[in-house]
A and B are shown apart, each in its own frame.
Chain A
Amino acid sequence: MKKVVIINGSPKKRKSVSEKLCMIIRHELFQRAEIEEIYLYETDIDEALLESIHEAQAVVMLQPLYVDCLPSRVLEFMWASQEYESEHEGKRPELYFVINCGFLEFEHNFTAVKIIEKYCSECGFVFGGGVAAGTGGTILNSHSFKRLEELLENMALYICRETALIVNESEKYNMTGRVYFIDEGIPKYLYKARFAKLWSGLAKKNNLSKAKLKEAYYKE
């Protein structure tokens, strides 16, 4: 069986949106691949970890978008990984990814996708492709979820495509280097209103007014 390493790059670890998306991939990979899971925010990035990742046949990186880019801990891994690769002759796995962005539009992910592509080319990894989503966690309860689920399932099936039983199905979405972008596609005014309602509601629970949420903390 193919060894697949799943890297969760969310600081929220097991409570993250990345983890929920990971469950879909894990479900499809179950019994079709040997899975190793790594939570970057609770794991030391050492030689043993890098060896394990670089010896895999496939790697799946899941993370949120932080400040138009990948979270710093994910970058720490990528820098260490590139240094490891320059000193060792690893198997050079296929790399797949999932990025989820809290803002409405999937376009926010473009730069991060290009950074992952560059990382692959510098490490000699095969850029397998991935899924980049907008709309944050609310996409899990939206009409777009079915499509997102389908994309993730097919990505997982493609990763373990050598498994005879699923050869035909995996051809449905040939991932090879392709990136699928998805978001909820609702009007911006609706997203804004939903966002304001969410935070105002949370503030109310903390006895804070909407005006208080807007106040400057640091005075000039």
Chain B
Amino acid sequence: MDKRKIILFSDADDLQGKLLEKEIEKFFSEDEVKVFNCKESRIEYCIGCYTCFYRTPGKCIYSDDMDGILGFMANSDIIFILSRIKFGCYSPNVKKALDRIIPLERPFIRTVNGETHFEPRYPKRKLLLAAGYGGYIEVDDALLFTDLVQRNSINLNADFREPIFFSEADSAEKKLSGMYGDLI
């Protein structure tokens, strides 16, 4: 079987996060995993200029660490988001990277579930996985995060799977096997 291309967006900057990052990488050890630590990378804010739509189609105006990642992401099989959660949402570092996905879309509209969305620039259908961590995650945070990931899967042209939530005491390996064991 060909190695799958997996991009792991991570904001890990502490022991828990770094361990989870390693465990996820290990879990998909048979595949080609590119870890993109959003906290340690140079990422400009998306300024909503839409140059990537009408001047340099598919190419962002910025040449920073997102450039190579978008190239990898465009033809990847799995997008995995590992993020600290607050208010049921990604951390700002992860969101800063996600705000920059516009070049992967086309300036034309399609309808999905009765809503208008951009057409994907790259036809390859992906799988979106996500894991939230950080202290005690309340039920409403988890539900909101799940909702957000599900919505993002449409814009990322990806199938959706329920996210995993890690508390500090959790065994990452067991949870990954339990939730995503069928993927390896």
Whether B155 pairs with A67 at a CB distance below 8 angstroms is yes
Main secondary structure of the interface of B (DSSP, over half): mixed
Given A11-B46, A118-B141, A199-B107, A216:B122 Cβ within 8 A: yes
| CB closest residue in chain B, given A12 | B48
| CB closest residue in chain B, given A103 | B116
Contact residue among B109, B115, B147, B152 (Cβ-Cβ distance under 8 Å from A192)? B109
Report A-chain residues with C-beta under 8 Å of the C-beta of B48.
Answer: 10-12, 64, 66
Contact residue among A12, A107, A208 (Cβ-Cβ distance under 8 Å from B57)? A208
Q: When A and B form their complex, what is the total count of cross-chain residue pairs whose Cβ atoms lie within 8 Å?
A: 146
Q: Which of A67, A82, A105, A188 has its CB near the most chain B CB atoms (within 10 A)?
A: A67
A218 interface residue per 8 A CB criterion: yes
B161 interface residue per 8 A CB criterion: no
Given A67-B152, A217-B103, A220-B75, A75:B141 Cβ within 8 A: no
Given A69-B95, A118-B140, A213-B54, A107:B108 Cβ within 8 A: no
B66 interface residue per 8 A CB criterion: no
Report B-chain residues with C-beta under 8 Å of the C-beta of A70.
Answer: 89, 95
Write the nearest CB–CB distance from B163 to chain A, whole angstroms: 14
For the complex, what is the distance from the CA of A119 to the CA of B92, rounded to whole Å?
14
Whether A218 pairs with B151 at a CB distance below 8 angstroms is no
Whether A217 pairs with B47 at a CB distance below 8 angstroms is no
Kindly identify, within residues 135 to 159 of chain B, every residue whose CB is under 8 Å from any CB belonging to chain A.
Answer: 140-141, 144, 147-148, 151-152, 155
Given A11-B47, A11-B48, A218-B74, A213:B116 Cβ within 8 A: no
- Can you report 17 A-B residue pairs in the complex whose CB atoms are below 8 A from each other? A12-B48, A66-B95, A68-B155, A72-B93, A75-B91, A103-B115, A104-B116, A111-B144, A111-B147, A114-B144, A206-B54, A208-B57, A213-B107, A213-B108, A215-B58, A216-B121, A217-B57
Which 3 residue pairs of A and B lie closest in terms of their CB atoms, listed nearest first? A217-B58, A199-B107, A72-B96
Interface residues of A (CB under 8 A from B): 10-12, 41, 64, 66-73, 75-76, 78-79, 82, 103-105, 107-108, 111, 114-115, 118-119, 122, 188, 191-192, 195-196, 199, 202-203, 206, 208, 212-218, 220
10 new A-B contacts, CB < 8 A, other than A188-B111, A191-B116, A199-B53, are A10-B48, A11-B46, A70-B95, A72-B93, A103-B115, A111-B148, A118-B140, A199-B54, A208-B57, A214-B57
